[in-house]
Every structure is written in C-alpha cells, then in structure tokens.
Structure 1
Amino acid sequence: MLAFCIGTGLHLARRTCSSIAAMNLGEVVKALNGIAPLHLAESWDNVGLLVEPSAPHHVKNIMLTNDLTTDVMEESIKSKVDLIVSYHPPIFRSLKRITQQSWKEQLVVSALENRIAIYSQHTASDAANGGVNDWLASGIGEIRDVKPVKCCTKSASGGIFFLKSPNCDFPDQLEKDIQILAKTDSGILAAWNGNHDMSHELSMANVSSENVIQLSTLNHTMHNTGAGRICALEHPLTIESIVRNLKKHLEVDHLRLALGRDNCMQSEVHCVALCAGAGASLLTGCHADLYVTGEMSHHEVLDATQNGISVILCEHSNTERGYLRNMKRMLGAQLSGVNIIVSEKDQDPLCVV
C-alpha cells in the first residue's frame, strides 16, 4: 500500500509539472501588451520590459504584484518565478550604476542573478479598457455610463510587410511587435503591431531596410481608453452606501472620508469621478458629486470639499491591488499552461492603527 501511495504521488507530481508550459518571453510580452497596450501609457511613465535576462528566456511561472519589494522578490525566487509583472515600475528614474547601495538596485541584481524578467504596465493598465480604473469603478455600485476623465488621443500603428529573407529570425526585442502571417521560399509575410517607426526599429535590430517591403499601414484609435473614469450611476446612492460598497470591493476595513460642504452620509450621489492611485491632478475640476482615489493632499481635499464635492481616499495601492485577480484571469486565458500566481507578500505600506 505504501509503495502504491508513493508511486501514485510521484506520478501526480510529474503530471502536474508537465502540465506547466514554457513560453518564450516575447510571446508573454505580446500577450501583456494586448491586455494593456503600452502606447496608452503616459509619456512620463516607464513601462514595458524593464529587466530582460539573456536569451533564450522561457517563462513557466509568472508572479503578479502591485509593488516589487524585497519581500516580493524573495517570494518570487522561492516560487521559481521566471517573470514578475509589477504594476508599479520598480525602475522609474534612470540608474547610473547597479550596485548594492539601494534596495532598488539590489532588486535588479537579484532579478538578473536568478534569471527573472521584470515587466510593468502602470499607466497603460490605468488607461486600458477593462483595466485598473474600470475595475475600481465596478466597486462603486450599478453604473449607467462610464467614460475616461481624460480620453486617450494616441493611436496604435502598424502594417503589413514582406521580408525578403526566408531564414530570418527576428530578435527577441521585436517578437512582441511582429506576427508571422506566412513563410514562403522567397521570404516572410508579417504584421507589424508596434507603436514606433517600423523601419527604424528593424534597422536597430540589424534587419536591413533593403530587404523590407512595406505593403500597407494601419492606424486606429483605441476607444473608451484614457486616464480616470467618470461614472454616472444607474440610481442615486448615498455616500454611506458607496463607502460600504468600496470597503467590500477593496477588502479593507477603513477608508478616509471628507464630506463636501453641506453634505452628510445620507447625501445622494449621482456622479462619481475616480482615479486609481494618486488622482488629485486629474480629478481637480471634474464635475461630480464624489471623488474616489488613493491619496490627495490636505489642500487638494479642502479645495474639493469647499466646492461641495465629497472625497473618499482608499490609500494608494488599495485602489489598484485587487485588479491583479482580473489580470490573472485575462493573462491565463492567453497563456494556456503557464502558471500565474498573485504575490502574497505584496501589501500597502500604510495601515490604520
């Protein structure tokens, strides 16, 4: 009986391991960009693939986190993760050296030593249709209409091209932007999905422009994308009801509330303006009954309340972290067999005591 149990256990372990598929990093990056196209990100942001181990790099295990901290990195190493998708970019300002002097430099060193890639979506995910802000809006209550506070005016670009080189292998850094349509004896027919000049990007990857024939170009605007959300409620809700709904949605016990002038907990809300993270600069001036965001300064809150607008502050990352569960489902649907986990060490650094 013991031998049978041991044998069965080993069989199940092998079957579980074999069910985890390995995918090229470029394929995973392409899927991530499909969920939150990087061209939607703010110009000041640092999004995309931030740390890339030497090729080939195959991904079996992915960890999703809101912030990449030392604890999350240790958790990733123990979980044998090949890719960390961190909502906030752990590398934001330029690094002039990679040493052990700061915790962010140490993260980069640990990632490279353990062959862990790092990818960040940040404001691309904020702006995306079905992204972080839409997830946050879903916790307000029944919504009749929702639209971005600031619509995205950028366009995705691309096209179809023919490469006169049937044996060409595209560099890893271009795999996320190129889709092979057909291969013939004379060359490769492919689609370019990038948001930069195709000829320039190919030349930077040592693909000669003389071998590239551009057959068509494509430009399209992404609808319902942009920063923040303005939500018109299906039926008016009291401030008290929205506070209760948000606590449940964000899975927190406490929120910070500032009542607008002449408002009370039973005041009705018809329209909510929201922004995940720090939304003061975006929300200021929005015509709404209530602002919902992660953090605002004292004077920004005071300005809103004196104009009769109530404010709910949820703490910065609490307005973002719950979206990771949606992200796991969406990414899992595209990366069949890849193991995707959400960090258990990731948490907002602030708590009410």
Structure 2
Amino acid sequence: MKIVDLITWFEAWANPAWCESWDNCGWQVEPGVLQESARVLVCLTPTLAVMEEAIAQNANLIFAHHPLIFAPPKSFRRGEAISEMVRSAFTHNIGIYTAHTNFDQVQDGTADVLAQILNLQEVTPIVPTVSGLGYGRVGVLEKLLTLQELLGIIQQQLKPPDLIFSPTADLHQTISRVAVLGGSGASYISAVVKTGAQVYLTSDCKFHQFQESRDRGLILVDAGHYATERPACDRLSQKFISLNLDWVQLSQRDEDFRQFCTKYNF
C-alpha cells in the first residue's frame, strides 16, 4: 500500500477536521513520500531517538500521536530538536504524520483502548463530539472490584512507573463505574463527575485537581501520560499490520520522559 493510500484510509476513520483549534494534526513533514510503499514506524512522540530508529529500519513514515510541531516555530537552528528532526526527515526521505485529538475521539483510539483494557461495558464518551464519538470513555466494570483490585489491574496492564491516586480511607470499597481518558485529562473532572463514575483514570493531574476530585467524591487515578496513551499506539500498529503494508513496527525507542527516585539507590 502506498503512503498516500494509507493516509486516505486513516483519515476516513479519524478525520483530521475533528482536530482541536489549538492542536496540529496531519502532516508535520512530507518530503515527497506519498507514492512510496509504506514502511511505517508508529510512536507516541516523535523524537530524535525515534528518528534514528526509523533511519536504521529504513522506514519512510513516522506515524505519531503527539505532534512534532504544536505552535509555528519562529526559527530553525542547527542543534535544536525540531530543526534536526525536520532536517533528518528531508535528508532520509522520511515523512512525519500526527494523529492527536482526532485519534483521541474515535473507536479504538486512546480512550477506547483504555476502556477495553479495563473491560468496561456499556461504554459511552465522557464528552460526546461527533457521530457518537468523543473524548474519554465511561462504563461499568465487567464484575465488581475493590479499589485495591482495580488499582492492581491498572498497574498490571499499563505498567506505569508509579501510580498516584486520591486519598481514600477504604481501599476495599466496591467499584462498579469507571471513567478513562488517555493523556492529560484533568480538565474533564467536572464532566466525569456528571457521569456518575466512581474512579477516573487519566494523567498529568495537579495537586489541587486531586483535592477537587476528593471533594466531589471522585477517586482520581494518575497513571502517567506515557502509560495511558502508549497502548493505543500499539493497537494502531496492529491495525496497520492488518493492511498488509510492506513493514510496520511499534517504536522501541519511545520515551516516558519521567524517572522516579524509587528505582535507584542513592
């Protein structure tokens, strides 16, 4: 399949027109690869490490969730990460394409995959947008779990380096209704409360957002940005494999960008 056909297929599923006004979905760098047979490296974040991986694997398309460029650059200078990514893309003829907030909303996108990992049933969007899609998912657990059991499943399935959750006096309380949103989802706390969810799994939550959640009777669970979105990248690579492309791989050099002192002996 040619790259142009792959992108056409993808955009029919996750329309870039659904991208938020502050976002930057679609082509970040297109050095003239549209008519080439697709050799795709899927990643969460396009970094120089991922670019090196793409070069080593003879890939011609980096398909990323996070945009390479959020705001228009004011300059390109040698040695700066974005400049070096763009230079390498043109030098090695590697396209960089991003699916961000459009991919968040669709079936089998970032939120849907989290809901499936937790086996949520009767799933609906936290905030509906178009055609029954939307941001986040809320549903009921397949069977009742204690909070401790649910946290254990999240740890086992997502493997975050650390879990942060709202203070609660009872880890043995029964949980039936859960909301999820991959990436930075704290701004949706009010919408989640309205869904009747008892637990909200997301990431990048601030101190006072944990306070707000506690005060509103919602258990907030922060598993980290990488851990909550990387599974959807894995799912996307599997979808690409089913299209019988020349070559598809999930990046092995994606980075979490966070380290925790508990890993080390000081």
Please give the TM-score of this superposition, normalised by the length of structure 2: 0.90
What is residue 163 of structure 1 aligned with on the other side? none
SS at match of 1:73: helix
Would the aligned equivalents of 2:44 and 2:230 in 1 still touch at CA under 8 Å? yes
Q: Which amino acid aligns with 1:258?
A: S
- Measure the CA separation in 2 of the matches of 1:138 and 1:54: 37
| Distance in 1 separating the partners of 2:215 and 2:81 | 41
Which residue of structure 2 aligns with residue 97 of structure 1? Answer: 75
Query: Of the candidates 279, 290, 298, which is equivalent to residue 199 of structure 2?
Result: 290
**2:258 maps to amino acid:** L
Normalization by structure 1: what TM-score? 0.69
Partner of 2:121: 144
Write the distance in 1 (CA, Å) between the matches of 2:260 and 2:172.
25
Equivalent residue for 1:67, pick from 33, 45, 50: 45
78, 81, 86: which one aligns with 2:64 = 86
Report the equivalent of 1:312: 221
Structure 2: segments with no counterpart, 5+ residues: 262-266
Once the two structures are TM-superposed, the CA of residue 55 in structure 1 deviates from its matched residue by 5.8
- Give the match for residue 46 of structure 1: 24
Instruction: Kindly tell me the number of residue pairs found equivalent between the two proteins.
Output: 258
| Aligned-partner Cα distance in 1 for 2:86–2:189 | 34
Q: Tell me how far apart the structure 2 counterparts of residues 307 and 73 of structure 1 sit (CA, whole Å).
A: 44
Contact 1:274-1:283 at 8 Å conserved across structures: no
The answer as to whether partners of 2:117 and 2:157 remain within 8 angstroms in 1 is yes
| Root-mean-square deviation over aligned CA pairs | 1.8
Report the identity percentage: 26
SS in structure 2 at match of 1:299: helix
CA contact (8 A) 2:6 2:38 kept: no
Residues 58 and 235 (structure 1 numbering): CA distance in 2 closer, same or farther, change over 3 Å?
same
* Cα drift, residue 101 of structure 1: 4.9
Give 1:96 deviation, angstroms: 3.2
1:77 aligns with 2:42: no
Distance, in Å, in 1 between the alignment partners of 2:29 and 2:245 is: 23
Query: Matched residues in 1 for 2:259 and 2:37: separation?
Result: 35
Task: Classify 1:56/1:36 alpha carbon distance in 2 versus 1 (closer, same or farther; 3 Å).
Answer: closer
Determine if the alignment matches structure 1 residue 259 to structure 2 residue 167: yes
Give 1:231 deviation, angstroms: 1.7
Aligned to 1:129: 107
Distance, in Å, in 2 between the alignment partners of 1:238 and 1:74 is 44
Report the Cα offset of residue 93 of structure 1.
0.6
The separation in 2 between residues aligned to 1:64 and 1:349, in whole angstroms, is 18
Bigger Rg, structure 1 or 2: 1
Deviation at 1:32, TM superposition (A): 2.1
